[in-house]
Amino acid sequence: MRDSPALVWYASYGANMSAQRFACYLGGGVPPGGSRANPGCRDGAPPRERCAVWLRGGIYFALASPMWGGGLALYDPDLPGAAPACAYLVTAEQFADIAAQEMYRAPAAARDPSRVPAGGRLSLGGGRYETIVHCGHIGGHPVLTFTAHWPRSAVEAAAPAAAYLGVIGAGLRAGHGWSARRCGAYLAARPGAAGVWTARRVAALL
């Protein structure tokens, strides 16, 4: 009898909060509004569970997204406050494959992400999504996300694209039950979006 696979909660704070967009990371395909195809995970099974969570820290937009254009959502656990996210219960292998796709690499055997120490971080490289952050536990399984190894203060903010904000907002509405108005206010206040997007314009995308 084969051992049960290690399970982790993947906490998304960006476009993957949308279950429709996240499905492309699992099964492959081009998300609505996107410009590139995801190859999908080696195991394309849907997540076992999904729930709304909050991560200690904050979200900002920086760099440039090859998929959406405009700034990418990045997480800094050392920023003040808390950030809304959606967590998916997946296998450790699926989490590793999702992280690989975020860096535009083919899914392949990788270090077991469930080995990240509680409350700690594991840097797998210098890329924008190559640092795994352990954010706690739910039901005995670790809550993990990934982000850049640098702090918010080390990179210039960049405005996100409309399609990207629309997908993130859709994820917030479905996962946290927020109104379009609340989503607009939250996203328009993030560094990178602030001063470029207004809460009303973001809400209109939803």
Q: What pLDDT, in 10s, does the model give residues 23-32?
A: 999 999 888 7
Q: Where are the domains of the chain?
A: 7-158
CATH of domain 7-158: 3.10.490
Residue 113 pLDDT grade (very low, low, confident, very high; cuts 50, 70, 90): low
Give the neighbor-by-neighbor strand order of the sheet with 7-12: 50-56, 82-91, 7-12, 141-147, 131-138, 121-123
What does pTM read for this prediction? Answer: 0.92
Between 127 and 52, where is the model more confident?
A: 52
Distance, in Å, from the CA atom of 34 to the CA atom of 148, rounded to the nearest integer, reads 22
Top-confidence range, 96-100, 113-117, 150-154:
150-154
Using one digit for the tens of pLDDT, what is the confidence trace for 170-186? Answer: 999 999 999 999 999 99
Distance, in Å, from the CA atom of 80 to the CA atom of 138, rounded to the nearest integer, reads 22
Displacement of CA 52 from its chain's centroid (Å): 13
